[in-house]
Amino acid sequence: SYELTQPPSVSVTPGQTASITCSGDNLGDKYVSWYQQKPGQSPLLVIYQDIKRPSGIPERFSGTNSGNTATLTISGTQAMDEADYYCQTWDNNAVLFGSGTKLTVL
Q: What is the total residue count of the chain?
A: 106
Single out the residue of 18, 65, 88, 105 in contact with another protein (rule: CB under 8 A).
Answer: 88
Q: How far is the CB of 89 from another protein (least distance, A)?
A: 8
Residues from 25 through 44 that contact another protein (CB under 8 A): 30-31, 33, 35, 37, 42-44
Give the CA dihedral 2, 35, 85, 71, nearest 10 degrees: 70
User: By CB under 8 A, is residue 99 in contact with another protein?
Assistant: yes
Pairing of strands 101-105, 83-91: antiparallel
Binding site for another protein (CB under 8 A): 30-31, 33, 35, 37, 42-45, 48-49, 54, 86, 88-90, 93-100
